[in-house]
Amino acid sequence: DKIYSEIPHTERFTLVGQRWKALGEDARAPFADEAARLKAEFIQANPPKPKKPKKPLSAYMLYFKDQLSSDKIYSEIPHTERFTLVGQRWKALGEDARAPFADEAARLKAEFIQANPPKPKKPKKPLSAYMLYFKDQLSSDKIYSEI
């Protein structure tokens, strides 16, 4: 018959877990209702952030997508070989052949930047008194003279 507060935390948590598992649905219901209410309040107070828009495809990815959709032979070979073949073809292309993909990628990037302007960077937090002292100690030979 130990006093509850004298039982170590790990044993207390084990006991509570065992009691929870032994409870019936009726006994758990008030806790489940309260948890659902608290969750609803939390979600209302902290709505989910909107998903970030996807970045536009690069010139290589536009080429990759074009190659996979146009060639039927790619459907018969494993993914890793497909990707290798497309990469080899891309490397073999000259600047003239790459130009349409690069132009399209530049256009998509410009549209993306116009529709989603970059957010201003947050200013750095000022240093704490300890960090100012720390930098002062490291910048001088004070710390080394005391060792």
Instruction: Please write the tens of the pLDDT for every residue from 21-35.
Output: 998 999 999 999 999
Q: What is the pLDDT of residue 15?
A: 85
Find the range with the poorest average confidence among 3-7, 14-18, 45-49, 60-64: 3-7
- Residue with token string 């890793």: 80
Q: Are 63 and 105 in contact (CB under 8 A)?
A: no
Q: What is the pLDDT of residue 72?
A: 65
pLDDT tens-digit map of 88-122: 999 999 999 999 999 999 999 999 999 998 888 88
Q: Across the chain, what does the average pLDDT equal?
A: 86
Ordered domains of the chain (ranges, CATH): 4-45 (no CATH), 53-140 (1.10.30.10)
Q: What is the pLDDT of residue 71?
A: 67
138 φ/ψ angles, rounded to the nearest 5 degrees = -75, -35
The pTM of the full predicted model, rounded to 2 decimals, is 0.51
Q: What is the pLDDT of residue 106?
A: 97
- DSSP-derived letter for residue 94 is -
Q: What span, in angstroms and rounded, lies between the C-alpha atoms of 36 and 42?
A: 10
With a cut of 60, say whether residue 146 has pLDDT above it.
no
Q: Are 86 and 64 in contact (CB under 8 A)?
A: yes
CA 144, chain centre distance (Å): 42
Q: What is the pLDDT of residue 92?
A: 94
Helix 95-115, helix 59-70: angle, nearest 10: 110
pLDDT tens-digit map of 44-84: 998 888 888 899 999 999 999 988 877 666 677 888 888 89
